[in-house]
Amino acid sequence: MKISEVSKRSGCSIQAIRHYEKEGLISAPSRTEGNFRLYGSEEIERLSFINNCRSLDLSLSEIKHLLELQYLPNTPCESVNIMIDDHLSIVEKRIADLQKLQSDLRKLRRRCNSTRSIEQCGILEALSPGSNHSVSDE
């Protein structure tokens, strides 16, 4: 199967497939006499696995580690659990940061209405360096 077909079946772009090959996440495929890459169903499964991992924001090194663990089926999965727990903590922190940002933006938006002039804009006032109001003040 050529790379374009593998891309369609796996959900990975052609550029990503080449990158994963370069990074060692998939092995170098055999080639035709015309130097086209040829892939099999094993590569599609591996690329689908990689794609699933990327959708969870796992790094390439973490994905490589998970792929290596697949060849060690009797190994305890504690390191996988720790990896996911770490990611969960990062996501929870991001969510908290985004909720704070949302709150700050809402407070900032309440500082001004459309009937004011730019000179009287509460948003611009709050964002100005010499302002007595911080963005998060109500």
- Give the domain range for residue 41: 3-75
pLDDT given for residue 115 in this prediction: 84
Tokens of 134: 């911080």
Number of domains the chain contains: 1
Domain-embedded: residue 7: yes
Domain-embedded: residue 113: no
Domain-embedded: residue 100: no
Determine the Cα–Cα distance for residues 69 and 90; give it in Å rounded to an integer: 23
pLDDT, tens digit, 9 for 90 and up, residues 107-136: 999 988 778 888 888 899 999 987 666 666
pTM reported for the whole predicted model = 0.72
pLDDT given for residue 137 in this prediction: 58
Domain-embedded: residue 63: yes
Tell me which of 3-7, 52-56, 110-114 is least confident: 110-114
Domain-embedded: residue 130: no
Domain-embedded: residue 125: no
What DSSP string describes 24-66? Answer: TSSPPPEE-TT--EE--HHHHHHHHHHHHHHHTT--HHHHHHH
Question: Residue 103: pLDDT above 90?
Answer: yes
| CATH number of the domain residue 17 falls in | 1.10.1660.10
